[in-house]
Homo-oligomer: A and B are copies of this chain.
C-alpha cells in the first residue's frame, strides 16, 4: 500500500478529549475517529490491525473445534423479556420500535439468541457438545463512554457459546477455551493474567477473566505475592473471611449508646475528624433492596469503617439486589447517611455483617437520626435479639493490602484492562428458553452451557498501553497494521524504483508493506513512521544505494543497521517470522 492512496491522518497535537495514552495514540496515529460519544469509525490503519486480531482469534477458535456463525444485532425484545434481561439491563440496553411498533433491542450480548437457535435444532445427546462463536458488533448505551475504545457504545466482541450434556464436557471445553485465550493474547503481544472471577450458578472454579495489567485499566486485580492466587477485586477472597456468627461478637461492658451531634457529616472521614476516632473504630452501614420473589426485602450491610462493601459478595448472600433508592429508603425509616446497624431493631430488614465489623468491640456508627452518630455501639448490647434471627456474618467486603490470600500469602493490587472472560453458565438460559436434549435413555434434560467473550478492541488498547514510547506506538508484530514501512528519502528516480521493487517483492512474500511516497521532508516521514509504530522501517536514500545498501531499523531500536539490498527481503522475512 502507498501512503498517498490510503488515509493515515496523523497529527502532532495531543487531543484534548483523550486522557489515556492508547486513546491519544489512536487519534494521533489516525486509527479511529469519533462519530458520537463511544461510537467510532475504524480508519485504514486501525482496521488493518483489528482484522489481524480477528484472524488470530478465528484461527484459535477453529483450532479447538468452535464453529463460526453470525447472529443479528437487531433482536426481538420479547426474547429478552423471557429471561428478564430486558428489564435487568436497564438503560444499558438500546431499545427501539419498528414500523409496526414491535419492540426491538440492539444486542449487547447473545446468550438468548444462541440458546434459542440451538434449542431449535439440537434434539439428541449425539449432537452435543457444540461450540458456536461469532465476531460481531455489540451495542451498550454506557452512561459515560470514555477512554477511547475502553468504554464504548458500539464495539466488536468475539462471543462463543458451548452446549453440553455434562459438567465434565463443559469443563473440557472450558479448559480448551482457556488455552485458546492464552494463545490469542500471546500471539497478539499483550500480557494477560487469568484471574478468578465471579463464579455464578455453577460455583467453584467456574469463571476467569483475562486481565492486562496496566495503569489505565478500570479493573482491579488482586494477586498473592507467591503468584499462586489471582482474582479480580470483586471475587478476591481472604484467609479469614468465614466461619463466624453473631454469637462470636466480642462482649463489652453494658452501657448506653452515647449520641453525638454530627451535623451534615454523612461519610466516614469527616466523622472521624470530628470525633477524633479511626475508621477502624467505626461501622459503616449501607442499605440495599433485594428482590425476594415478588416482594422487596431490605438488606442492611455492615462493614468496618475502613472497608468497602463488595456487592458481588453480598449478592452471594442475599441474591439479586441493588443499593436502595434514597427516597424509598427514607420513607421506610432508614435515615440515609446516618444509618446504624441497630436500625434493624425497628425496621424489618435482613442484617449482613462482615467479620471485621463484627470484631469491633465498641464502635462509632450512625444514630438512625439525621445529623447524629452514636459511640459505644456493641453488637451484643445494642441489637434486639428478636429482630436478628436471620442475621448473617459473611465476607461482604473488598480485600485490602492488609488481607492475606486464602492460602495465607500477602496480596498485591494492580489495575488492569479486562480483555476476555470465560464463564460456566450452567442451565440458566437453557432452563428458561427450553433448550433441552434427549439423553441415552430418551430423558429430556436441559443443556449445560458455557460462554466465552473477548473484546478485540480492548486487545488493541492493551497492546498500545503496554508498549508505547514518547515517539508513538510500538505495535507487536502479530497485530501491526503493516510489518514494514519503506521510507524513501525522496520518492523519485532510482530511490523510487527500488522502493517500488521492494514493495512488490516483500508483498509477494506475504509481508504487509507501506511505502511512504509522500512529497514530505524525511524528518516528517520519520516522525510519522515512529508515531504509527510499524515494527520495521527501511530507509532508502541515494547515498546508501550507491553502496548497494539500505537502512533497516526496528521500531524499538535507536540505531539502524545497513543491509545489502540483495539480503534485505530475507532479513525482513526472518525478523517477521521470529516475532509473530
Residues on A lying within 8 angstroms of B by beta carbon are 1, 4-7, 9, 30, 33, 35-36, 39-44, 47-48, 50-51, 65, 67-76, 91, 94-96, 98-99, 102, 104, 106, 113, 117-118, 120-122, 126-127, 130, 132, 137, 139, 141, 143, 153-154, 519
Contacts and interface: CB of A to CB of B under 8 A. Distances in A.
A247 to B, nearest CB: 47
Given A41-B69, A67-B7, A96 B99 contact: no
A542 to B, nearest CB: 23
B68 A153 contact: no
A173 to B, nearest CB: 11
Contact of A71 (B9, B35, B113): B35
Nearest to A114: B41
Contact of A41 (B36, B70, B126, B141): B70
B154 A5 contact: no
A102 B519 CA distance: 43
A68 B96 contact: no
Contacts of A104: 36
A326 B498 CA distance: 71
A36 to B, nearest CB: 5
Given A35-B72, A67-B1, A99 B95 contact: no
A95 B94 contact: no
B41 A67 contact: no
Given A44-B67, A137-B137, A96 B94 contact: yes
A187 to B, nearest CB: 21
B143 A99 contact: yes
Given A74-B154, A75-B35, A69 B98 contact: no
B4 A126 contact: yes
A153 B73 CA distance: 11
Contacts of A153: 74, 98
A567 B277 CA distance: 88
Nearest to A11: B121
Nearest to A65: B5
A63 to B, nearest CB: 12
A505 to B, nearest CB: 18
Nearest to A10: B121
Contacts of A113: 35, 41
A33 B4 CA distance: 44
Nearest to A120: B33
A429 to B, nearest CB: 16
Given A7-B132, A44-B67, A74 B117 contact: no
A68 B44 contact: yes
Contacts of A91: 99
25 contacts: A1-B67, A4-B126, A6-B67, A6-B130, A7-B67, A7-B121, A7-B127, A7-B132, A33-B120, A41-B70, A41-B72, A42-B71, A44-B132, A50-B70, A72-B154, A73-B154, A74-B94, A74-B106, A74-B153, A74-B154, A91-B99, A95-B96, A98-B141, A98-B153, A106-B106
Given A73-B154, A94-B98, 16 more contacts: A5-B67, A7-B118, A7-B127, A7-B132, A30-B121, A33-B117, A35-B72, A40-B72, A44-B67, A48-B68, A50-B70, A72-B137, A72-B154, A73-B139, A94-B96, A95-B96
A6 to B, nearest CB: 5
A73 B73 contact: yes
Contact of A42 (B44, B51, B70): B70
Most buried by B among A75, A98, A137, A139: A98
Contacts of A96: 94-96, 106
A126 B519 contact: yes
A130 B8 CA distance: 12
Nearest to A118: B7
A47 B91 CA distance: 32
A141 to B, nearest CB: 5
Contacts of A139: 73-74
Most buried by B among A30, A69, A94, A154: A69
A130 B5 contact: yes
Contacts of A519: 126
Contacts of A43: 69, 117
Nearest to A62: B1
Contacts of A4: 126-127
